[in-house]
């Protein structure tokens, strides 16, 4: 039985730096999805008037800090916001375009 070399498209890139970056990309994608969901929920609650002024301020500050941290992490790993938007094929992109 002879071995056939795999085509370049089928080989896995298992370089430590690439694996780490890809893992970070996946984790940041999940965090970004959750951040956007939290932001939408907060906006809905703001619009409905469900929150006290203090709650609104704390939520706003928390969302701003989370956005800042996400920017720092993307920059550290050389990722752009669009790099976190996974293509789900026929379903389209994972994250809505802002």
pLDDT tens across 56-95, in order? 999 999 999 999 999 999 999 899 988 888 777 777 777 7
pTM: 0.68
**pLDDT 10s digits, 39-62:** 999 999 989 998 899 999 999 999
Q: Above 80 in pLDDT, residue 29?
A: yes
**pLDDT 10s digits, 2-12:** 455 555 555 55
User: Helices (DSSP H) in the chain: which residue ranges?
Assistant: 16-48, 53-76
What letters, b where the CB count within 10 A reaches 16 and e where it falls short, cover 28-52? bbeebbebeeeeeebeeeeeeeeee
């Amino acid at each position: 039985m002879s071995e056939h070399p795999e085509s370049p498209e089928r080989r896995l890139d298992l370089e430590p730096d690439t694996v780490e970056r890809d893992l970070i990309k996946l984790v940041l994608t999940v965090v970004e999805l959750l951040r956007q969901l939290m932001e939408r929920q907060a906006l809905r609650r703001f619009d409905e008037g469900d929150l006290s002024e203090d709650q609104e301020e704390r939520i706003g500050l928390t969302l701003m800090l989370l956005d800042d941290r996400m920017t720092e992490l993307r920059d550290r790993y050389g990722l752009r916001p669009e790099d976190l938007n996974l293509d789900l094929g026929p379903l389209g992109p994972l994250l809505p375009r802002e």
